[in-house]
Copies of this chain bind each other. A is one copy, B any other.
Amino acid sequence: MADKTNITFDDIAKYTGFSKTTISRYFNRPASLTDRNRKIIADALEQLGYRENKVARILARGQSDLIGVMLPDLYHHFYLDVLSRLLATYQEFGYKFIVFNGNQNESVERQVIDELLAYKIEGLIVLSHTIPSIELAKLPVPVVGIEREDLYIHSISTDNEKGGYEAAQLLDSRGCDVLLHVTSKETPNIHIPSHRRITGFLKYCSEHGSAHREYFMNFPHNYDGIEKHIKSVLAGIARDFPTQKKGIFLSSDNYAAVLVNQLVRQYGRLPDDYLIVGFDNSSVSRESVIPISTIGQQTEVMAREAVLLLRDEVRKMRSADAGSASEPVHRIIEPVVIERATTR
């Protein structure tokens, strides 16, 4: 057996004497068959080596269990972390993921989205930030953004303002004389998440009258470039605040790790007058030579919520049919303060 290359319902039907319809029912409403007939069909499937064909099923039912994922890059561990959490939802929800790395290339991303739609994905999860949400909102499938501008689409984001606030608070509570925030200089869009981290940071500083300064860096997306930038920031900080106890909050663990490495190379340890807090709780923060205190994003929760939200929206769409795009849902996830060695 298992010879004929492609066994279909038709083959099973002929083999068992039932009709295609009954075979289909065996899979979709097994309760409607007698025990006996179910057994007969089960045996036939086994005998002939049947393999299901979702493509035909998708065409007939219009339901693919496929979700598209658009990543901005694979340098920041945060994205990998989210990706890995998304993939892990398979066991709970059964969605399969077609994954793309847009690489910050807007035209590639547009093309890729068209491709994804052609595969009848049921929804799209977007972590990249090149395409504005007003455009994504026009797509014929629900879109959930994660940690990105989300004015017109659903989204899952960390409470970045709170995160920024807590970073400042942590550093302040450890007796820092001056609070410094190193972040990337992005388009001056107040709707991107890292902007709110700044807001939170500043809020704390002004509420508590803390001396502070921000450093807006044009970080590239590779290690060497970032290292160069961090070096220069660090030189500036050492020059401007030679005697103060410095509390440095970086907008990503990746940046924080580079900074910690610099300091350790220079001093053989983390000097007492440098306290560091990163953001994300990505693997680099835990695995750094000095484990880095960080404001953690709950990526597992975020990924799960994203899939859940998508599933709900898909269902809503199917029932409402007349695709009255529902109001964007914005789900905010609490950040988690994770204190490690760089603030003690």
Contacts and interface: CB of A to CB of B under 8 A. Distances in A.
Interface in A58-99: 58-59, 64, 66, 74, 80, 83-84, 87-88, 90-91, 96-99
Interface stretch (A17-25, A244-252, A284-292, A327-335): A284-292
A5 interface: yes
Interface string A242-278: 0000000000000001101100110111000000000
A79 B283 CA distance: 15
A119 interface: yes
A231 interface: no
A114 interface: yes
A301 interface: no
A54 interface: yes
A61 to B, nearest CB: 11
Nearest to A85: B74
Contacts of A58: 55
A65 to B, nearest CB: 9
Interface residues of A, number: 54
Number of copies: 2
A51 interface: yes
A1 interface: no
A98 B108 CA distance: 18
Given A55-B55, A59-B56, A257-B287, A115 B101 contact: no
A110 to B, nearest CB: 13
B108 A100 contact: no
Given A55-B58, A97-B99, A264-B264, A223 B286 contact: yes
- Name the prevailing secondary structure of the A interface residues: helix
A98 B101 contact: no
A323 interface: yes
Given A117-B51, A120-B53, A223 B64 contact: no
Contact of A74 (B54, B80, B223): B80
B101 A99 contact: no
A87 B59 contact: no
A97 B98 contact: yes
Contacts of A66: 98, 119
A140 interface: yes
A212 to B, nearest CB: 28
A10 interface: no
A106 interface: no
A83 B69 CA distance: 14
A112 B283 CA distance: 27
A340 to B, nearest CB: 13
Interface of A: 5, 51-56, 58-59, 64, 66, 74, 80, 83-84, 87-88, 90-91, 96-101, 103, 108, 112, 114-120, 140, 223, 257-258, 260-261, 264-265, 267-269, 283-284, 286-290, 323
In the complex, the 7 A-B pairs of residues with the closest C-beta atoms, listed nearest first: A268-B268, A289-B289, A74-B84, A54-B118, A261-B289, A87-B101, A52-B118
